[in-house]
Structure 1
Amino acid sequence: MAAAASAGAWALWRGSSSWSSVAARSVSRGSLQQLAYRQKSSLSFLSQPDRPALAYRKLKGKNPGIVFLPGLNSNMNSQKAIALEEFCKSLGHAFVRFDYTGCGSSEGNIKECTVGKWRKDVLAVLDEVAEGPQILVGSSLGGWLMLHAAIARPEKVAALVGVAVAADYLVTTFNQLPIEVRKEIEEKGEWKIPTNHNEDGFYSLPYSFIKEAENHLSLNNPIPITCPIKLIHGMKDEDVPWQVSMQLAERVVSTDVDIILRKAGHHRMKEKDDIKLIVYTIDDLIDKLKTLT
């Protein structure tokens, strides 16, 4: 019966023999896996004093748990987030995905949001929703936020997995614009960032968002994070160049840092093989953390 349950959970990934070996290993992890397979996350809300409620979905299970941090203009229902939930469900590990203030199903006005406010959201989820040590998986802007969370809550963060980490990148990109363009953005109070990811062809950010983000720059000084870190980046990323992950690896204090460059990978890393790579990486990291405890 356990084998049948596992086969269903891993059906999406059976295009790879190496992936099947990961699935086979999960079968041996006992009856807890059967319970996890049947478990489904439901939409819940985290109330915060004087702040909008945060929407989240949580699976209970073994530690380390996994917390997924989405990117800019994304939410907890992305392909990566859902795939990670299925992966954690199959292994019986805890998992949390959530929406930042003003995003997805969470309350709040996105036009009033800042990097600092979203940082508080991540810390609230770690403090109030996640239980025990966690592996933070941060995508794009979520990768920037996971760095701040790891610094603020080292006792809660067992490891980091960054996917196309956009540390400092909005500020860096803005500062590289011609001075007359920056002045125009400041006067209009809005920055329209070109993108291929929506029908409008641009993301709109308040100028105030960029100025506030300057208070959270990470790459100018050594980053006091000592836990294991895996950085995955597509070399065809047209939004955040893979060199940002290289720079981040140099800045963190931790010596246990691996950089995985995917030659055909784009920014969102949402193709089937991209997601396989992310899940392989997390699975290996879970095994590694077990040997360290």
Structure 2
Amino acid sequence: MAASVVRSCCRVFLQTSAHGKVAGLSSRCLGGVRWKSSVQHATRPDLPKLAYQKVKGKSPGVIFLPGFASNMGGLKAEALEDFCKSLGHAYLRFDYTGCGASEGALEDCTLGGWKRDVLYVLDELVEGPQILVGSSMGGWLMLLAALARPEKIAALVGIATAADHFVTAFKSLPIEVRKEIEEKGEWVLASKYSEEGAYRLNLNFLKEAESHCVLQGPIPITCPVRLIHGLKDPDVPWHISMQVAERVLSADVDVILRKHGQHRMSDKDDVKLMVYTIDDLIDKLTTMA
């Protein structure tokens, strides 16, 4: 772990950035007056339209990648938009195929299809280097995007990064349970985040996701990486972020652990930490440039 700095946030961490840019943000990012961006739809040949909201600005830009079955309307995504607008940096948030305001059916989606969505955003909807901010499954997708488009990635920020999650969770089930799921062709995954109380994953989704696993060996990513995780995350264990930190080849990797953090990391102080982390990255990247 020589490449990683592990910070336990039971210490005092949330301090105003040294250059003072974040000090006045809290009221706008965390429940005050918001500046709204309009929803646009990207038309792709033979593929569902992607819904996105974009703010023009300077580089590096910031792109938010939601979690599984989530959308671009969450607190973290909106707080990042307010933050980027306050600094004049470009920002984009979007919905994956089958999620939110984008076209498509969730049950037909695959991890590879969502990776294709992210690459389309990088190739067609933004310009210049980007900081990818991935929440949960979005953290897995940010790693896949950085591997596929390294020249377009300035830095990565993972929030409860769920690298390889569905695959490892399925393989950790008792063998008799796995056999029953394979016979039914569907895994009913209980979740408090679903309106129905569970998500239904078909075997095709699991088998396809297996081809995108990244934790089996070194991850050839060399940009700065920041990984924030809650020690009380009941869904994705915090040691997954530690594994990512160990495997990426970058020498600039920080793991930030929140003592009381849950999976979604959407409490006010969690959002502040995310914003401050990105603020420090932007300052570092622009200073280097």
TM-score by length of 2: 0.89
Pairwise CA distance, 1:197:
2.2
Matched, 1:47 2:46: no
Q: How many residues of Structure 1 are paired with residues of Structure 2 in the alignment?
A: 268
**For each residue in 1:175-233, what CA deviation from the matched residue of structure 2 results, as whole angstroms up to 9, or x when unmatched?**
01111111111121211112222343322211211111000000001111000000000
Corresponding residue number in structure 1 for 2:154: 158
Matches within 5 A, 1:142-181: 142-181=138-177
Corresponding residue number in structure 2 for 1:215: 211
Pairwise CA distance, 1:40:
4.1
Query: Given that residues 39 and 59 in structure 1 are in contact (C-alpha distance below 8 angstroms), is that contact kept between their aligned partners in structure 2?
Result: no
SS in 1 for 2:63: strand
CA distance in 2, matches of 1:290, 1:25: 21
Query: Given that residues 187 and 201 in structure 2 are in contact (C-alpha distance below 8 angstroms), is that contact kept between their aligned partners in structure 1?
Result: yes
Matched, 1:133 2:144: no
Name structure 2 gaps, 5 residues minimum.
Answer: 1-13, 26-32
SS in 1 for 2:41: strand
Higher relative contact order (CA 8 A, sep 6+): 2
Corresponding residue number in structure 1 for 2:11: none
Q: Give the % identical residues.
A: 65
CA distance in 2, matches of 1:195, 1:153: 32
Matched, 1:226 2:226: no
Corresponding residue number in structure 2 for 1:289: 285
RMSD: 1.9
Which of 231, 237, 242 is the aligned partner of 1:235? Answer: 231
Matched, 1:202 2:198: yes
CA distance in 2, matches of 1:255, 1:23: 27
**For each residue in 1:31-62, what CA deviation from the matched residue of structure 2 results, as whole angstroms up to 9, or x when unmatched?**
xxxxxx99742111111111111000000001
CA distance in 2, matches of 1:202, 1:38: 32
Report the AA paired with residue 185 of structure 1.
I
CA distance in 1, matches of 2:23, 2:234: 37
Q: Which runs of 4+ in 1 moved over 6 A?
A: none
Corresponding residue number in structure 2 for 1:249: 245
Corresponding residue number in structure 2 for 1:80: 76
TM-score by length of 1: 0.88
Corresponding residue number in structure 2 for 1:11: none
SS in 2 for 1:216: coil
Report the AA paired with residue 75 of structure 2.
Q
Report the AA paired with residue 185 of structure 2.
G
Matched, 1:90 2:86: yes
Corresponding residue number in structure 1 for 2:6: none
Corresponding residue number in structure 2 for 1:4: none
Matches within 5 A, 1:7-18: 18=16
Name structure 1 gaps, 5 residues minimum.
Answer: 1-15, 27-36
Matches within 5 A, 1:26-65: 40-65=36-61
Which of 71, 75, 95 is the aligned partner of 1:99? Answer: 95
User: More displaced, 200-209 or 160-169?
Assistant: 200-209
